[in-house]
Each structure stands twice: as C-alpha cells, then as structure tokens.
A and B are shown apart, each in its own frame.
Chain A
Amino acid sequence: MAQLAAVVGVGQTKYKTKRKDVSIAGMVREAAVNALEDAGLTWNDIDAVIIGKAPDMFEGVIMPELYLTDALGCNGKPMLRVHTAGSVGGSTAIVAATYVQSGVFKRILTVSFEKQSESNAMWALSNPQPFSPHLNAGAGGYFAPIIREYMRRSNAPYDAGIKVAVKDRLHGAKNPLAHLQLPEITMKEVEDSPMLWEPLRFLEACPSSDGACAMVIANEELAAKSPRKPAWIRGAAMRSEPTMYAGREQVNPRAGIDCAKDVYAQAGIHNPRKDLDCAEIYVPFSWYEPMWLENLGFADEGKGWELTMSGATSLTEGGDIPWNPSGGVLCSNPIGASGMIRFAEAAQQVRGEAGDHQVDGAKTALGHAYGGGAQFYSMWVVSSEKA
C-alpha cells in the first residue's frame, strides 16, 4: 500500500526571455533554494534529488544533471534525471512523488528547468533529419494541422483560441512570476497579431522563457512538521503512445483520456468540472484549452470551446473551473520546467499560497503536462485534504 506524500515546498524563478545574469546552475539553484526556504529546510534535510529537463539540444549541454549535482547539493545522495519531452516537468514530479509514496525516500527535492536563451527551440525542434525532407516548422508547425482538424470537427467559432490567449494573459498579469505581463491585452490585439502557423497567431503561441521550478515532496510524517500547509498528492498517472501509427487519434489522443481516467479514479474524481476547484493544464497554443477540456473530461467531445467561450475557465470572469490561473504556458514557457510549474501551481492553489491568482477556497486541483507529438502525458491531483 502506497504511503501518503505531499508537496511541502515550492520554489520558482521569475520567468524571463533571457536570464543572462546566471549560469544554468545558478538559475536551477535559485528555484531549489526558494523551495527549501518555503519548506523551512536545508540541503541536509533532502534524501534524493530528481531532475527533469527537455532535450539536451535545447542548451547543448549533454547530461546537464551531472554538472548540476554541486548546485543541487547532491553530494552523497541519489540523483536521477527524467526525460519525457515537454511533459518532463510533470513526469519528474511524479517520479519524485512515487519514490516517497513507495517509502524508498522520505523527502525529495525535485527540480526542472530550461534556459531557452542559450539556444533556439524552434531550431532544436526543426533540425534536418537524414534522408528526410526538411519541412518541420517547430512545435507550432506540428500542432497547427491538428488544431485545424479540431476546428473543423467541433465547428468552434474562429475566436475560441483568441479568447484563451486573452484569458491566460489576464491570469498571468496577476502572477508576478509570469514571463508575459499583458494586463491590457484585448481580443482585437490577439486577432491582429501576425499569423505564424495558420490558424495560429503570434499571440496564440507560448513565449520562449528561461526559468526553473522546484518542489520538496515529503512523506506523511515529515509533511506534518512542515511550516506551511502541505498539498497532498491524491493521484498521479502517466501514459504514452507512439507519435505515428495508422488510425491514431491525434485531436483527442487516447493516452490523454486514459491518463485522466486513471488519475481521477485514484483521487475519487467523478465529475472533473464539479469535483476539482481549478486546473493547471499544459496549453502552449491557445486552441489546446478547448481540446484538452474534452480530452480530460471537463466537456463532451466537440463542446470544449463552449466552456471556454462561456468564461467558465476564467478566473477574472469568475468562472466555476478556472484553468491556468497562473497564466499557464501561454505566459511562461521554460519548456522542461513548464510541466512542473503546472504541478507546482496546482499545489500552491490547494495550499492557499497562490497570491493574487488564488482561486478562492481551492481544495482540489489538477496539474497536467503533455509532450512530444502529444504522446506523453503526466497528471496529478493535489488536495488540501488527505482523503
């Protein structure tokens, strides 16, 4: 029987286009120190360190975890790196949680990061492949045709994506750590922004950010001694599927549906819209909000956009199920950390530590990440209550 585990400390950096003042180690360290301070702990209190980041090509440092052992106080401790593309921040948190739930370790520091300014992710995701036509136009180029197919199937109004782009930026304006600060953004501004990968406009896409996120995850006994409220991990699940095979459902991928069912079953969630108070979901391109609303069971298939358009997912409009109150990936995207930020922000909500973007009385929240060709999923449900 798995033991209870909880998030007892969260640390993030301020997300920015370029953190030229710090090395990768210095940036990762900042998030780790913030998480330790939040948990009222020191390096000596940590049993193991679990690191996650996206492809090494994003910074050109192969196996950066080895070089980061000094910065993360790993001397004499187990250290492990996790890698599942864009979902890695979430999977890293789940690996850390699982080690605590299994009783192998009592208290773990888990960290993820990306320093996009050291490279160019568009390049790293579109480099030529041997014997293949060089036609990959970054993540936007990959996901735009899938979004187009969603728009066709669902008959969604053309501006559902624009609505998400505005809503998440208004949320981000309440989060001082968010990279993009656009408190005055309007639907018209998003609509008039340059088309990048039709149907995706510039302001419907995530930025490139530098940043790191860290959490301390502890077992039940140690969590009880924590100075701040713990966020109890009520369920955690991962699923994957191949990127390409005949008959693959790309708009509403099976792995995401299955992963959500699994995590809801663990956490006793029967109706996600009713049973959850808010969600931090990996939405790097605006249209992925309505798409994931359906994939994750918040709306019937083809109806996700109705929730978005009604304001149900908006904190500023007083919606019943705010999605991405932190501003989400559309405001800050240090790729390897983006998934962990979702998980950590879900924890902050149920700890009551989310500041100006706090959802009033949030008790139960979903953290979600996806990666690769929408083929890796990781999700967790955290709660202010143990059961």
Chain B
Amino acid sequence: MSSSAEILSQAFTLGYTYTRSTGPIVGQFLTSLRARKMVGIKASDGKVLMPPVEFDPISAAALTEFVDVADAGVVKTWCWVKEPRKAHPSDKPFAWAMIQLDGADTPMLHWVDAGDEAAMSTGMRVKVRWAEETKGLMSDVNGFVPEAVALLGELKPATSDEQITGMEAPIYLTYNFTAGKATARYLQSMKKGKLVGQRCPNCRNVYIPPRGSCAACGVPTEEEVTLGNKATVESFTIVYIPIPGNPIKPPYVIANLVLDGANLSFLHLLSECKNEEVRIGMRVEALWKPEAEWGYAMENIQYFKPIDEPDVPVDQIGKLIDEGR
C-alpha cells in the first residue's frame, strides 16, 4: 500500500442547448415582448398576473384572458449587486428588483440599471428599457431604468410577427470535479503506464478501475493489485451510430473487457480487428499511446487489439481463481 494520493481535479462542463416548447400562454407573452408590449393574464379571482402563467396558482384553472399592462411600474423590493458575475445581465453594479407594472397585480423579477445603490428605493418608479433588437426573449427588456431617465437608443422594428411556439435554452454548467482517493491512485498509476486495481478484503474480487469499495460486500478496498495488459472480451457491441461529442467514426467495437486477474469488466474500444470476428472469450491486449501523451486517464490506452491466444472458456471469464487461501 503506497502513500496517500494527491488530489486530482478536473474542470468539467455539462451542457446542452435545449429546445423548449413554450405552449400558447408563454408563447404569446414572448411574442408580445418581441413587439415591445407587456401582457399579463387574468387569474380566476380577477387579478392580473405578470408574467402570465398557464394555470391559476390558486384554483388550478387554465387561464386564457390576456390583459395589456404598462411598461412602467413600481419597485416593490430589491437587492443591490455590487460585483456582477459573468452570467448577470449587466457588467456594472445593478439591482435585482421585483417590479409591479401598472395594470398588474403581481410583481415580476427583472433588473434595474440605476447606476448607484443610493438611487434605488422601494416604491420608486421605473420603466422598461427595450432592447435595440427584440427576439422574443425576456432579454428583450434590457433592464429597467428610473422613470425620469431619458431613453435615446434607436429601436429597430421586430423582425417577425409570427407567433412564437418555441425557444432555445442553452444550459451549460461548468464545475470542478475532484476524483476520490481510489480513483486518484488509479489515475496516477495510469500516468506511469500501469494498470492498478484494488482487491476486496472480503470476497477477494479485484476491481479495475477501483472505486475504493466493493459494491457487493459494502466494505472499503485498499489492497492494490498491479495488472497486466492482457484482457478477455466478456461481451461487446458494434456501434453504427456516432457518440454525441465523440469524433470516433462508426462502425466501431465497444467491448466489455476483463483484464487478466480482474473480476469486473470495463468498456473500451477494440481495434485492429475484423468486426465480424470479434467474439465473447477473445483474447486482447492494450495498445498504449506514446509515453509523452500519457495523462491521468484511461485514454492512455488507445484501444485494445486481438492477440494470438486461445479463447477463454465463457464460464471462466472474470471468474475468481481460487488462490488456495
């Protein structure tokens, strides 16, 4: 057992541009925004909700009656952002505010470009600053400004008057992923060109990649086992479609491989083979990239390729060999 692992972290972005269907109510709201008009919706109790919602939050009734509201109103409450972040609507200090537009009974969230915190107050009047170009998004309102501020920007007419039924919603989350102790130890070995798994102290099965515990026994695993480059095909699939975001060209073989001495398979690519000759029990070997390209990654192994050894009988693949303990 070697000394404890250094901490390994990796920046990681998970994201997708979703294609949202708005439905008729939100669609109408966005269509109106694009035409630089504010519309609310009448609730079952006669109040005007802003922005419009599809279903009454109290009675659950479907709402249908749109009501024009003004593009100016009153700040009901607010908070000042001294140091805007990248995702904020303004790069200068600004206020998030709940603004009740004239003609609406509920306040809506938006931002106020007031210049200075001292210019903000609950009860102050503000008006919409329309974006120069409108797209049918909430950002068509380029923030609110105190009512007395004169707005000089030129407003281009909306490019379309078609009803909006959908929108793109890019949602990208970047975070820092920190590998656990077992994964970090394993990746450090990979960087040195070695495959090191862990043995369960209870069932004696060897896991690679190790996870620091055995899911079957529910106990931590610490004993390290260095494994070789040879493996057996436990099963496989020939994939004829691309993996989103992966440049690999179909058809390609993804195999569940069990390294000699290990008892659980992992996925890796199989190459330098005829796809139609790949079979369960086939013997393969890791092909490592040049040492200069090794990182903290399983991808240090470019792929596995067949070797000239007899197939392993199916009932022996990945099975624990009695060590006579």
> A: which residues have CB within 8 A of B?
18-26, 29, 43, 57, 59-60, 69-73, 75, 115, 117-120, 122-124, 126-128, 130-138, 140-141, 144-146, 148-149, 152, 194-200, 242, 244-248
Contacts and interface: CB of A to CB of B under 8 A. Distances in A.
19 contacts: A18-B21, A23-B22, A26-B23, A59-B18, A60-B171, A69-B57, A70-B60, A130-B12, A131-B8, A133-B269, A133-B297, A133-B298, A134-B246, A137-B254, A149-B280, A197-B241, A242-B216, A246-B205, A247-B320
B264 A130 contact: no
Nearest to B172: A60
Contacts of A122: 244
B241 A137 contact: yes
Contact of B240 (A57, A69, A197): A197
B150 to A, nearest CB: 38
A234 to B, nearest CB: 32
B267 A118 contact: no
Interface stretch (B87-95, B105-113, B151-159, B231-239): B231-239
Interface string B186-211: 01000000000000100101110000
Contacts of B149: none
A149 B53 CA distance: 51
* Chain A, interface SS category: loop
A242 to B, nearest CB: 4
A130 B171 contact: no
A70 B57 contact: yes
Given A26-B54, A246-B264, A246-B318, A131 B205 contact: no
Given A119-B18, A145-B235, A152-B314, A22 B179 contact: no
Given A141-B254, A196-B240, 20 more contacts: A22-B23, A23-B26, A24-B21, A59-B18, A69-B57, A75-B60, A117-B19, A118-B18, A118-B21, A119-B19, A126-B244, A134-B246, A135-B243, A145-B255, A198-B237, A199-B237, A200-B237, A245-B214, A246-B206, A246-B318
Contacts of B269: 133, 135
Given A60-B16, A122-B244, A21 B21 contact: yes
B268 interface: yes
Nearest to B264: A246
A118 B57 contact: no
Interface residues of B, number: 68
A197 B215 contact: no
B216 A248 contact: yes
Nearest to B20: A118
A106 B83 CA distance: 51
A23 B25 CA distance: 9
B245 interface: yes
A198 B244 contact: no
B148 interface: no
Interface in B221-237: 234-237
B275 to A, nearest CB: 8
Contacts of B245: 123, 127-128, 134
A72 B60 contact: yes
A227 B241 CA distance: 50
Contacts of B239: 137, 141, 196-198
A75 B45 CA distance: 15
A133 B256 CA distance: 13
Contacts of A70: 53-57, 60
A23 B16 contact: no
B263 interface: yes
B165 interface: yes
A121 to B, nearest CB: 10
A149 B235 contact: yes
A56 to B, nearest CB: 10
Contact of A245 (B215, B244, B268, B297): B215
A25 B16 contact: no
A75 B58 contact: yes
Given A118-B18, A122-B244, A197-B239, A246 B53 contact: no
B240 A131 contact: no
A198 B270 CA distance: 14
